[in-house]
Amino acid sequence: MSDNLPDLFAHNRHWAAQVERDRPGFFTSLVKQQTPKYMWIGCSDSRVPANQITGLEPGEVFVHRNVANIVVHSDLNALSAIQFAVERLKVQHIMVVGHYGCSGVQAAMEGARIGIADNWIRHIQDVRDRHRVLLESVPAESRADALCELNVAEQVVNVAVSTVMVDAWSRGQNVSIHGWAFGVHDGLLQDLGITADNTKPLETQYKAAVQRIRYKWTGNGNGNGNGNGNGNGTHNPEVTKEA
């Protein structure tokens, strides 16, 4: 890969010309107002491009990315993006997507010090601490991947209890939130089995997802989400994040 910036413009011109040859009128149609059905909340990692992974065209998915796909109630950037997607673009599905081998999750597992980013990664460490018993039962080499999945479940809940989603559901808007994970090693998406759509109790959905994660990585539990949990952290006032 070239580190020469002018090469990026050359690549862009080549790409644009190739697209126009293959699909005449593509950019003319792209000028129209975007009407995506999907919002992707993912990690900033350059190996996880939302459009390519899902096979969607430009304009078909609205994307928000940050380190380790975190959504917290004080992050006006994320909340503004979600509100724009829900209220302005009328998306029907929000996918919170983590990925295995996430450096942010790994840093949280290790307690690594980076600098100002430590304050952001602290949110993942809260998830780590809440599920310490579960994670300690997972083989060391798999703990970061298990934490990746737990973090996704956590962020699905955070999106679901945001004022944006509470208001959207209260007016009957049809929009669902899904928790997924992407495998950089194989290019495949996994549905982690947590979907919030205001039709089922969020706490039940969260506990079931954590139970499945526990069963996947440890083989303990019945895998159906009905077991009692071992989490030991603080709890969100809207939902008991303990499983």
Residues acting as catalytic residues: 43, 45, 47, 99, 102
Q: Looking at residue 157, what DSSP letter applies?
A: H
Helix (H, G, I), strand (E, B) or coil at 235: coil
Return the structure tokens found at 18. 């190739």
Helix (H, G, I), strand (E, B) or coil at 141: helix
Choose among 22, 62, 23, 59: nearest CA to 42. Answer: 62
Angle of helix 103-110 relative to helix 143-160, nearest 10 degrees, comes to 110
Q: Which residues of 108-140 are buried (b: 16+ CB within 10 A; e: fewer)?
A: bbeeeeeeeeeebbebbbbbbebbeebbebbee
Whole-number Cα distances in Å, 239 to 40, 68, 131, 186, 212: 23, 22, 15, 34, 18
How far is residue 223's CA from residue 231's CA, in Å, rounded to a whole number?
A: 16
